[in-house]
Structure 1
Amino acid sequence: MNIFVAGMMMETNSFSAIPCTRDSFVNAMYYRPEHTGPDPEPAAYEQFGYRTFLRLARERGYGAYASLHAFAEPAAPCRQEDYESLRDEILDDLRAAMPVDMVFLMLHGAQMAQGYDDCEGDIIEKVREITGPDIFIGVELDLHGNVTTRMAEASNALVACLLYPHTDFDERGEQLFAIGERFARGEIRTRNHLQRVPMLGLYYTTLPHMMAVNDAVLAAERQDGIHSVSLMHGFAWADHPDVGAAVIVVAESGQGGVPDLARDIGRQFFAARDETRSLRRPVDDILGAIAASPEAGPFVIADVADNAGGGAGADSTFILTRLIERGIKDAALAMIWDPIAVDFAWQAGIGNRLNLRLGGKTGPFAGLPVDGEATVVALADAIEQEDPAGGLMFGIGRAALLRIGGILVAVNSIRQQVYDPVCLTGLGVDLSALRIVVVKSTQHFYERFSTLATGIFYCETPGSLTLDFDAGRYSRLRRPIWPIDADAAPA
C-alpha cells in the first residue's frame, strides 16, 4: 500500500495582535522532503509531528509520500494568500502522489485564516475532492481544536491527543494508523460522530476529574465497533460558531448506541468543567501563600494568561510589576518577548547597567511597560528548548538575563512559551537557589517543572488568555455556552 502524509498546525487567536504570515511558518518550522516519495529521506521520520505515520509505513514496507510539515506559533488569523499557498503545496503533492491507499494529515483543529473560519475543514474537503470517496483520510488533531461538521464529514477518522500537556501524539498516531490500515483492507468502514459540549475553558488532564473522564474515554474505546474516542477541549479565544468543546467518536458505520455513548461522555466532560478554572488565583493571593510557607522552594507560578502558545504576546508585566512592588527577592521570570530590550542588553554587555523600558508592547492585555534600571547578567544566542508534545527543538533566539531589583528576568527575541527550565538554566540560573520561578506557559511547562517544584500555582491576570471571558468580545459564538451563560447544559 501507499500512504500520503502532510501536516500544517497553527492555533489561531481571533483577538491576538500578532500577525501570521507565511514567514510565521517558515521561521518556526517548515519542512519539505527533498522528494515526495515513495520513500522520503530519514530526517522526515525522526524530526517532525507526522513521523509516526512515516515510521509505521516504513516498518510495514508501504510506500510513503511525504508533503510539507509546517508549524507556526499561535497568533491572529493567517493572511489569506499565505494560508492558501501552503494548503496548495499539500494538494499539489497529493495529486502527484496519486493513487494512494491512505492519507494522514497532522492538523491542529483551530486554524483560521482571513476568509476561512475552518482551515482544517477546507483542507480535508479539498483532499477528499482529489482522493474520491473511497480512500481513507485520517486526521490527527490537537485536543485544543474547535472541531467542525465539515471536518467530521470529509474525513474517515478524526483522532486527537488525550493528554494536556500533549505527550501522547505518537500513541494516538499509532491508533489512527491502525484504523487506516483496517479501513484500507476493507475490514472496517468508519464514520465520525460529533457531539458538542457547550463550554469554553481549559481542562488539565493531570487533575482528578479530567483523569476520570479520560478513563471513561479509554473504556469506551474497548467496546466493539468503537475505534476511537476523543475529547476536544476547544480553543476558547476564537470567534466563530464552532468554538467550544466536543466529543468525537470514530465508530463502525451503522454502529448502534453511538449518539448515547457520545452524550454520556459529553456530560461527564461538562461535569469537570470548573476543575481547572478554579485553580487560577490572583497574584497577591499566590505571593501571600508562598510567603507563609515554611518550604524553601522553588515555587513555580504559571503566568497562564500570557502564553505565546495561545496567541498571547508573552510580554505582559502584571506579575513582574507586583514582584517589584512587593520587594520580592530570589525570584526569576521566563520569558518576556521583547526583541528591542534584548538588542539593548547585547549592546550594553554583561555586567553593565542600562535604563530600560521592558514589556507591555503588544497591547492592553500586556499591561504597562516596566521602566527602570536593569543589570545585564548573562547573554546567550544558542538556547533551544524541547517541546514535550513532539520532541521538537525550538530556539528561543537571542536572549538576555536581566536583574531588576531582586528579580532575574529572561528576555528573548523569538516569541514562544516556556516548556523547559533551560530557558533559565541556559543563562546560568540555579533554580534550586530561588524561592519563586515564574513561567509564561499555561500547562506545557508542567512536564519538566513539576519534578523540581515545591509547589505550582496558576496565576490569573488580565492577560490575553484570561478565563474571565467577556461576552462583549464575541459576536459569533453559539449560545448558550458556559461560563458566559449560566443556563448552558449538555444535550
Structure 2
Amino acid sequence: MKKGTLKIAIGGFIHETNTFSPIPTTMADFMNDGECPGILRGEEVIHRLNGGNESVAGFLSSLYKLQPDWLPMATLWAGAAPSAAVPRSVFEQILEELVTRIKDAMPLDGVYLDLHGAMFSEGYPDAEGEILYRVRQLVGPDVAIVASLDPHANVSPQMVEYSDGLIAYRTYPHVDVAETGSRAFQFLEHMLLTGSKPSKSLRQADFLIPAVFQPTSIAPNDKILEHMLALESNVLSISYCPCFPASDFPHCRPAVLAYADDQEAASCAADTLAELVQRHEGDFVGRLYQPGEAVAEALRIAADESRPVIIADVQDNPGAGGSSDTTGMLRTLIAAKCNDAAIGLLFDPAAAAAAHQAGEGAEIRLALGGKSGVEGDTPLEGNFIVEKISDGAVFATGPIFCGVDVALGLMACLRIGGVRVVVSSNRVQMLDTSFFRAAGIAPEQQNILVVKSTAHFRADFAPLAADILLAAAPGAMPADPTGLPWRNLAPGIRTRPLGPPFHPIASIT
C-alpha cells in the first residue's frame, strides 16, 4: 500500500495498422497536426489532450478529482491516422524517446499508457507488446503499468504479461474514450492504494469479425456489451476487443480480458464472456450493397422521407487504413443523376488547392481522387463548380470528438450535377456532421449522404438518418476479411464468421 504524493508517468503511442493498406506510414504522419495532434512532449501532452473525448483527458480528470496530491509526469504522446506498417526506424525513434522520458521521470509509482492495441511495425508485429516490454524492463516488476486500448486491439499474451491492466473502450463508435481513461485511473488507483497486483485472464476467439458488423449499437454486440457490463460487477475490469481484422499477425482475433482480486473470478468472467462471443459467431452478418444497389435503394427510400439516407462507403474508411480517395460511390451517384446528394471526405490535396486557386463560383476541370492505386479504382475526370472553399479548421461537435479542433487541411465543396463532393487535404474519416457543414452543406437537408466511414459515422449521423445502408465499393478495408492476402494469421482462424479456416503458407520473417 502506498501513501502520500505518488508519481504517475503518462504517455502514449497510437497507430492502428492495416498491413494491407496502400498508404505508407512515415514519421511525418506522426508529426502532422490533423485528426491526431502530432507528437506531444512534456506539458504539451496535458495541455493538448486534457479535454474532449480523449483517454488521457479522462485519466487526468479522475486523477485531479480523486487524488489531487498525486503528480502526473507527462512524457510523450504520439499518434497517426491508420495506414500501413510503421517503419522500424520510425517505431524505434518514437519508442526510444518515450522510454527515455519515462526514465527521466523516475522514480515512479505507476505508468499510464494511451495505446491502440493494433500497431504493427516492421520487425515488431506485436508493437504494443514491445512497447510494454521495454517500459516494464525500465521500471521493474513493482511499478504498476496500466494502459487503455481501442477495442479494435489485437491483444497478445505479451501485452497482458508486461502490463498490470489493459482497459479497452466499451463502445463502437468510440463515444466512451475519456470514460475509459477514467476507468484506467481507477484501476491504477486500486492497485496503488491496496498494494495488490490483480489476477488476469485472456481468452481469444477463433474467428475474425468484419469491422462493419462490430458496432455496439447493433446486434449482436449490443447484447454482448450488456452481458459484459453485468459481469463487471464481480471483477475489477473486463474488456472485449472484437479485433482489427486487417493486421496480418497471429494474434489478430477477438479477445476478452478480465482482471479480479483472485484468479478464479478473473477466469470465470473471461470464460463466460468468451463463450458468449463464440455462441454469437453466426450473428456477425448483415446486408452489404453493391454501389448501384445502394444508390437505387437510397433513392427509393428518400422519395418518401424528409430525412437523408446515409450510405456508408465502408471499404474506403481512412479510419481503417483506407485511402479515402476512391471514386466508386461518387461515380454511382453521378450516373444515377442524384440531386441533393453529398459525399465526403474525399482526400485530394491537389484538387483542394486547384479549387482555392480558382475561387468560389469558378468551374474547373479535374481528375478527382483515385490516385492511391486501389484495384478497380481510377480518377474521375469532369468539370466541377467550386461552391465553397475553407481552410479546413473545424470545431468538431459530435460524440466522437466532443468539441475539439480538427485540421482537415485546405478543403472545398465541389459540385458536379446534383452531387456535392467535400474534398480535404488531410485524410480524415467522415465521422462528424461538422465536416459537411464546414463545406457549406447542411447534412439534414440532403436526400443522400455518402460517408467514407465504417461505423464511427453512426454516432453523429444516425440521429438525422432516415435509414443507413452499407455499400461495398472498392477500397483498402474489405468488408469481408477473407478477401485479404493473409500470410501470418494463427492456423485454423476462420477469416470471417463461420467462414473457411486459415492455412498458412509462410511465416513472419
Fold equivalence (TM over 0.5): yes
Deviations 1:315-362 (A, max 9, x none): 111111111112222211111101111122222222121221111111
The one of 372, 380, 384 equivalent to 1:374 is 384
1:228 equivalent to 2:237? Answer yes
- Count of aligned residue pairs for this structure pair: 483
Task: Tell me the residue number matched to 2:97.
Answer: 89
Task: Tell me the residue number matched to 1:463.
Answer: 475
Task: Tell me the residue number matched to 2:507.
Answer: none
Structural RMSD (CA): 2.2
Q: CA deviation at 1:276?
A: 5.3
Contact 2:307-2:464 at 8 Å conserved across structures: no
Q: CA deviation at 1:296?
A: 3.0
**How far apart, CA to CA, are the structure 2 residues paired with 1:432 and 1:479?**
47
Q: CA deviation at 1:192?
A: 2.8
How is 1:106-121 mapped onto 2 (pairs within 5 angstroms)? Answer: 106-121=114-129
Contact 2:400-2:431 at 8 Å conserved across structures: no
Contact 2:62-2:186 at 8 Å conserved across structures: no
1:100 equivalent to 2:91? Answer no
**How far apart, CA to CA, are the structure 1 residues paired with 2:493 and 2:28?**
35
Check 1:334–1:487 CA distance in 2 against 1; reply closer, same or farther (3 A cut).
closer
Equivalent residue of 2:129, what SS?
Answer: helix
Contact 1:374-1:404 at 8 Å conserved across structures: yes
Gap runs ≥5 in structure 1 = none
**How far apart, CA to CA, are the structure 2 residues paired with 1:120 and 1:261?**
24
Task: Tell me the residue number matched to 2:29.
Answer: 24
Q: CA deviation at 1:461?
A: 2.3
Identity %: 30
Contact 2:312-2:452 at 8 Å conserved across structures: yes
Contact 1:385-1:396 at 8 Å conserved across structures: no
**How far apart, CA to CA, are the structure 2 residues paired with 1:17 and 1:413?**
17
**How far apart, CA to CA, are the structure 2 residues paired with 1:33 and 1:80?**
21
The farther-off stretch of 308-317 and 81-90 is: 81-90
Gap runs ≥5 in structure 2 = 1-5, 503-509
Contact 2:55-2:182 at 8 Å conserved across structures: no
Contact 1:160-1:232 at 8 Å conserved across structures: yes
**How far apart, CA to CA, are the structure 2 residues paired with 1:324 and 1:472?**
30
Equivalent residue of 2:50, what SS?
Answer: helix
TM-score between both structures, scaled by the size of structure 1: 0.93
Deviations 1:246-277 (A, max 9, x none): 1111222x421543432331232234445554
**How far apart, CA to CA, are the structure 2 residues paired with 1:483 and 1:90?**
35
How is 1:29-48 mapped onto 2 (pairs within 5 angstroms)? Answer: 29-34=37-42, 45-46=50-51
Deviations 1:413-447 (A, max 9, x none): 11110121222211211333321011111111111
The one of 209, 212, 219 equivalent to 2:223 is 212
How is 1:376-391 mapped onto 2 (pairs within 5 angstroms)? Answer: 376-386=386-396, 388-391=399-402
1:246 equivalent to 2:255? Answer yes
**How far apart, CA to CA, are the structure 2 residues paired with 1:410 and 1:144?**
28
Contact 2:55-2:180 at 8 Å conserved across structures: no
The one of 382, 402, 414 equivalent to 1:402 is 414
Deviations 1:17-74 (A, max 9, x none): 11212211110323535559xxx86555336541222233333110110111221000
Task: Tell me the residue number matched to 1:14.
Answer: 19
**How far apart, CA to CA, are the structure 1 residues paired with 2:452 and 2:484?**
26
Contact 2:55-2:181 at 8 Å conserved across structures: no
**How far apart, CA to CA, are the structure 1 residues paired with 2:101 and 2:61?**
20
Check 1:22–1:243 CA distance in 2 against 1; reply closer, same or farther (3 A cut).
same
Task: Tell me the residue number matched to 1:482.
Answer: 494
Equivalent residue of 2:286, what SS?
Answer: helix
Contact 1:30-1:68 at 8 Å conserved across structures: no
Amino acid at match of 2:477: L
Amino acid at match of 1:367: D
How is 1:165-204 mapped onto 2 (pairs within 5 angstroms)? Answer: 165-200=173-208, 201-202=210-211, 203-204=214-215
Task: Tell me the residue number matched to 1:423.
Answer: 435
Q: CA deviation at 1:198?
A: 1.7
**How far apart, CA to CA, are the structure 2 residues paired with 1:227 and 1:389?**
26
Task: Tell me the residue number matched to 1:357.
Answer: 367
Equivalent residue of 2:476, what SS?
Answer: coil
Contact 1:77-1:114 at 8 Å conserved across structures: yes
Amino acid at match of 1:7: G
**How far apart, CA to CA, are the structure 2 residues paired with 1:395 and 1:273?**
39
Contact 2:392-2:424 at 8 Å conserved across structures: no
Task: Tell me the residue number matched to 1:52.
Answer: 58
**How far apart, CA to CA, are the structure 1 residues paired with 2:395 and 2:150?**
20
**How far apart, CA to CA, are the structure 2 residues paired with 1:410 and 1:42?**
31
Amino acid at match of 1:409: V
Q: CA deviation at 1:157?
A: 0.6
TM-score between both structures, scaled by the size of structure 2: 0.90
Contact 2:414-2:423 at 8 Å conserved across structures: yes
Task: Tell me the residue number matched to 2:453.
Answer: 441
Equivalent residue of 1:180, what SS?
Answer: helix
**How far apart, CA to CA, are the structure 1 residues paired with 2:71 and 2:243?**
34
Equivalent residue of 1:76, what SS?
Answer: coil
